[in-house]
Amino acid sequence: MSLLVVGLSHRSAPVSVLERASLPADARIKLLQDTLAAEPATEATVLATCNRIELYADVDKFHAGVAELSTLLAQHSGVGLEELTPYLYVHYEDRAVHHLFSVACGLDSMVVGEGQILGQIKDALALGQELHTAGRLINDLFQQALRVGKRAHSETGIDRAGQSLVTFGLEQLAAGAPVDGWAADKRALVIGAGSMSSLAATTLARLGVRELVVANRTTERAERLAAVLSEPGTLDARAVSMSQVPAELALADVAVSCTGATGLVLTAEAVAAALTEHMVPGASPAADLRAPEGSVVARLAALAARDGRVAELPGGADDLAGLPGVDRAGGPGAPEVGAPDAGAPGPADARADAATGAEDSLPGDAAGAECPVGLDDSLAQHAAWVDNGSRARDAHAGAVTAHGAGPVRLALLDLAMPRDIDAAVHRLAGVRLVDIESLAEASADAPMAADVDQVRSIVSDEVAAFGAAQRAAHITPTVVALRTMAADVVAGEMARLEGRLTGLDEKQRAEITQTVRRVVDKLLHAPTVRVKQLAGEPGGAGYADALRTLFDLDPETVASVSRADLNDADVKNRGRV
């Protein structure tokens, strides 16, 4: 086994580099084809997710393999080799196996313990099988990685250490609030209908959103997803085309995007336009928060406007009537509103005069009373005005989540690589954006579960077992070739015996043949069993070379056995992904 992996991930490279190096589907196919065409590699596949790009290959030479795979990654990612090299990591043989098994268990994920990576490993193997770039080693390795990942999730509590990237992202949007309560009764928009977007839609439906809209370039796929999630009376799920995204964004409280687009799906301008049309579900139209005309508040505000202390009047000029120092007739002799004459009192004097004048203008003994007669109607109007304003604010606050200095009118989760949503939208008031970069920062502070150590132990045991099995499998063709040679020797000697002893009947001939075969088998049994055991140990590959040399085995015979095993493994592994 000469397994080599060259790659980069969120642990080795910043998100800006990962975003530029991301590989679309057609680039992955071309990468694998070019890898097999390169001299050092005999089989390969690529594992590409939103936060990692790794090229796995069986190579003949380590240094040549590293150089070739690094060059190919740079060539197909579009990031220059000199720029990409500082972020690349390399694992070889058992270390490469350990790395993939750790990845499969979620130990190397942005969110430790997440299970989505198993589906992505499965897709990587399927791609290699479809393109016939995955041979026996890649097939065995990725099949075993899937088994190890499933074992880790079933035998430990690693699931408690983390969750899916979708759930983690929604928790960041909730900003500390319980995510189920935060999502309840919201209108959600999911852009894309791939595996990650489908998971996002499913998660939002489970969390209790009131309405779910799925937008996708292929409307049929979005319709299938919406039909599966829709529950009459509980969840209204529907599908729309990508052209309807702007209109749906204006109605949404939360939007999740994960497409394979190479450019932005939501620009800052598109989000800003949606905000201008944004309607909070269930909220009544904006209330007129001006004081009713003729009320005490309106009259005091008019007086302040006359003195130049406010910019505009909430009511008409009639609101000044009845206030002290104001010409009730409002005729030409009255001071111009907002432009007091030079002899007008200052702001402090005006406030004092207003207070005194208001009290002096009360009829009879009403001055100083707890509820002055003559103000009942005005105060009632003022109380209604304040109450209406409070109710409007409460309705709005119930429909959105407060964050930072103001309410969040639109929560955006970008799980795509490269990004779907313009990073500049975080500057828009009322918008909260969570993307891969912010998730990476948040996950760095996430606590590690106690079960992680148990998973690491499982990985170590499985790596040792896989290495031993591969080394034993490596010597199997030599052992088969040795036994084939022994069988040919027995057959030749029996032919010579029959030529010398022509009087042997069938029973005697069969008995002699069986006896000779038993002798040969007994002589070969202990050495072949022992050599398989020794081959499973580190450095055990040398025993195969020793057997070939000692028994002068034909290299072509050994190679033919290896090819036959490889073809059998290829046929057996098809359809098992």
Point out the annotated binding site for substrate: 49-52, 109, 114-116, 120
Contact criterion met (CB below 8 Å) for 144 and 127:
no
Q: How far apart are CA 425 and CA 412, in angstroms?
A: 9
Q: What are the binding residues for NADP(+)?
A: 192-197
Q: What are the binding residues?
A: 49-52, 109, 114-116, 120, 192-197
Catalytic residue among 50, 105, 258, 371: 50
Helix axis angle for 136-155 and 555-573, nearest 10°, is: 50
Give CA angle at 199 (194, 204), nearest 5°: 125
* SS (HEC) of 95-159: HHHHHHHHHHCCCCCCCCCCCHHHHHHHHHHHHHHHCCCCCHHHHHHHHHHHHHHHHHHHHCCHH
Q: How far apart are CA 2 and CA 137, in angstroms?
A: 9
Q: How far apart are CA 129 and CA 389, in angstroms?
A: 64
Q: How far apart are CA 464 and CA 538, in angstroms?
A: 10
Contact criterion met (CB below 8 Å) for 111 and 163:
yes
Cα–Cα distance list, 480 to 22, 23, 477, 554 (Å): 45, 42, 5, 12
Q: What ranges in 43-115 are assigned the alpha helix state H?
A: 62-77, 81-84, 94-104
Q: What ranges in 156-295 are assigned the alpha helix state H?
A: 158-161, 165-174, 179-183, 195-207, 219-229, 245-249, 268-276
The DSSP string of 200-215 is HHHHHHHHT-SEEEEE
> Does 371 qualify as catalytic in the annotation?
no
Which tokens go with 546? 């020793």
Which tokens go with 20? 């530029």
Q: Which residues pair with 44 in a beta bridge?
A: 57
Chain-centroid distance of CA 510 in Å reads: 68
Q: How far apart are CA 477 and CA 6, in angstroms?
A: 29
* SS (HEC) of 483-522: HHHHHHHHHHHHHHHHHHCCCCCHHHHHHHHHHHHHHHHH
Walk across the sheet containing 89-92 and list its strands: 41-49, 52-59, 3-9, 89-92
Q: Counting runs of H as helices and runs of E as strands, what totals does the chain give? A: 22, 12
Q: Provide φ and ψ at 547, rounded to 5°.
A: -60, -45
Q: Provide φ and ψ at 446, rounded to 5°.
A: -70, 140
Q: How far apart are CA 371 and CA 247, in angstroms?
A: 52
List, by residue number, the catalytic residues: 50
